Structure 1
Amino acid sequence: MHAFYGGFLHIKTSLIQFVHEFDNVLGNNEQKELEDDGADSKGVLHTILEEGDCIVKVLSKEGDMYSLIVGEQKLIFDKPVVDTYRVFFDSVIRECQCECNLFQSKAILYCRMLCTFAYFKVNEVPTCLFSSQWSKNVRWKHTYIKSCHDVNSSNESNNFYKGLYSHFFNIAQDFVRNIKEASILHSVMDGTQTTLHDHCASKDQSSVPSQQSNKTPETQCSISVDRLLGPP
């Protein structure tokens, strides 16, 4: 909550101010989402160079679980310092966990995990370590909440689109965890798409005669200048 409302609310904010600022928070987050999406679509992730500063040493092994010590070399005030961390690695599911728990809190792969993978010759990051919050396709659910910032640009079809997009996102997020579930969803969506194409085709055919009978000369058509609006 502090991260979401940061910079907009304070301890003396009244209820009326809260409602007003809540709307501003939504508008700010919507704008930031658009900017981040634009940057992510063109950006390239930088290579992590700190992996070479880590030294891995195996302490013990119990079954498929390895216990390791990873020393990370750092420069503090131009003096080399080595911080050691206890790391556990499962060789079957290829899951890595460090005692610092940075991955659990920030969901970012850091150098100690990467150098552990390199030590055991794991060339691909396991899917269990993929975090959806860092995906370029992620959409935070607060962006679906309607605010006054998008009233002017909203219309009936736009509202339909938002509702359907939210519905599709929730289904994919809740049920697509393996190939079978993804195949079922693709099959259902393909069938729905075919049904909609047939519906639109029959609708267009039925509307052709009425459009021809109601057609007016071009000279009688008029456009209201007041209705021509600039893009949002």
Structure 2
Amino acid sequence: MNSFFDGYVNSKTTLRLFVNQYENALRDKVEKENIAADFHSFKSIVPCINHYDIEKQFQSVYTNSKFQEFQKELTRKIYYYPTFIKKEGAIEVYQVTEDMRIGDKRKDVVYDILLNEEEFEVKCSCHHYEFRGILCRHVLCLLREKRIKEVPLKYILERWKKNVKRKHNFIRCTYSGMEDTSVAKRFDMLCNTFYEVAEVGSISDESCNALVEAIDKLKILFSTNLDNSAKDLHVQEGPSCDGKSKTILSLVAVRSRGRPPTLRKENKVDRKSREKMAREKKAKKKEKENNVKGHSMEIIKHNMNDASSAAGNLASQDEIAQTVLVNSSAHYNTFQTA
């Protein structure tokens, strides 16, 4: 999530500015993923690794990334050879043994392949096509043995084609700029018209079937024109994020408090050495505290002794003064009597 908003928001971004920067980040992501990827697939071609016609078929229709994934399966097919097992009606059953490595051990895994040549339907028990959308290496090795040079179009999914028309691109959103384009206006107008036609066609089965047939004919008519112009890359016209937003750089990463994280396992020698140093450091600290405490007690005792001596001196001076006064009084009385 941080990498997605990198260059747009940081910890001090306000909520109002975050909304604007969020739209700019989405717009930038759409431009990079859709337009740049489509342009790269149309303008560059990944070379074939062998002379099979099936590879050339996928090269012409699939995107570069998906075609490279298909090439990996195609190169691995040379390690497998299908074995015919039985035939049930129009369905032929084959088996392919794959040597797989599981941990430190190796294991032979057997996959079943069902082939119907009449309708050209093929299915493998590894279910790679169901999960990844491309034919697996087991099926490709069977097609090689059967001398099949072309795959039916039903095994070429629309989502991996270069000229795919993304339906979600016609959905209005603030970051795509579709609300101001002529494509969006035509799309909205057709949707409103089709909605009215659908209301009329849903009255009865006859009108519904007639409407579906008419739409199919129109689809065939217009699909021919679309196929002729499919090679032209469509680039949506929309406002650029440059000049409309203020780029806010992310904060510089700082080191967190505390001990830095580590994954190294500490050996016994280092642990004992570290514990010994900790004990010595603790002993020195305690000794220093004791020295400070003893010195403080000596100062306190010395001050108390000084205070006691001063108090004793004051007491002696009072006694002397009283004695002097008594003697003086006695002499004065004697003088008066005389």
Question: Does the 8 Å contact 2:170/2:184 carry over to 1?
Answer: yes
**Unaligned ranges ≥5, structure 1:** 9-15, 190-229
Deviation at 1:136, TM superposition (A): 0.2
- Listed as ranges, the matches of 1:94-105 within 5 Å are 94-105=120-131
* Cα-to-partner distance string for 1:28-62 (whole Å, 9 max, x where unaligned): 24430112102211132454211101120111111
Structure 2 CA distance for partners of 1:231 and 1:141, relative to 1, 3 Å: farther
**Unaligned ranges ≥5, structure 2:** 5-14, 47-66, 195-211, 227-241, 245-338
Distance 1:187 1:57 in 2: 43
**More strand by proportion, 1 or 2?**
1
Aligned length: 169
* Cα-to-partner distance string for 1:77-109 (whole Å, 9 max, x where unaligned): 898754321111111111111112221222112
SS at 2:169's partner residue? helix
Match for residue 43 of structure 1 among 24, 33, 45? 45
- Structure number with bigger Rg: 2
The share of aligned pairs that are identical, in percent, is 19
Distance 2:161 2:105 in 1: 37
Distance 1:116 1:97 in 2: 11
Q: Do residues 185 (structure 1) and 222 (structure 2) align?
A: yes
Question: Does the 8 Å contact 2:86/2:93 carry over to 1?
Answer: yes
SS at 1:149's partner residue? coil
Aligned residues: CA RMSD:
4.4
Distance 2:166 2:224 in 1: 26
Higher relative contact order (CA 8 A, sep 6+): 2
Find the counterpart in structure 1 of residue 172 from structure 2. 146
Q: Do residues 58 (structure 1) and 95 (structure 2) align?
A: no
Find the counterpart in structure 2 of residue 112 from structure 1. 138
Structure 2 CA distance for partners of 1:130 and 1:150, relative to 1, 3 Å: closer
Deviation at 1:114, TM superposition (A): 0.9
Distance 1:163 1:27 in 2: 23
Match for residue 160 of structure 1 among 182, 198, 210? 182
The amino acid that maps onto 1:160 is: S
SS at 1:70's partner residue? strand
Question: Does the 8 Å contact 2:90/2:117 carry over to 1?
Answer: yes
**More helix by proportion, 1 or 2?**
2
* Cα-to-partner distance string for 1:196-218 (whole Å, 9 max, x where unaligned): xxxxxxxxxxxxxxxxxxxxxxx
- Listed as ranges, the matches of 1:1-232 within 5 Å are 20=19, 23=23, 24-25=25-26, 27-41=28-42, 42-44=44-46, 45-46=67-68, 47=71, 48-73=74-99, 82-151=108-177, 156=180, 159-164=181-186, 183-185=220-222
Deviation at 1:147, TM superposition (A): 3.4
Query: Scaled by the length of structure 2, what TM-score is found?
Result: 0.40
SS at 1:92's partner residue? coil
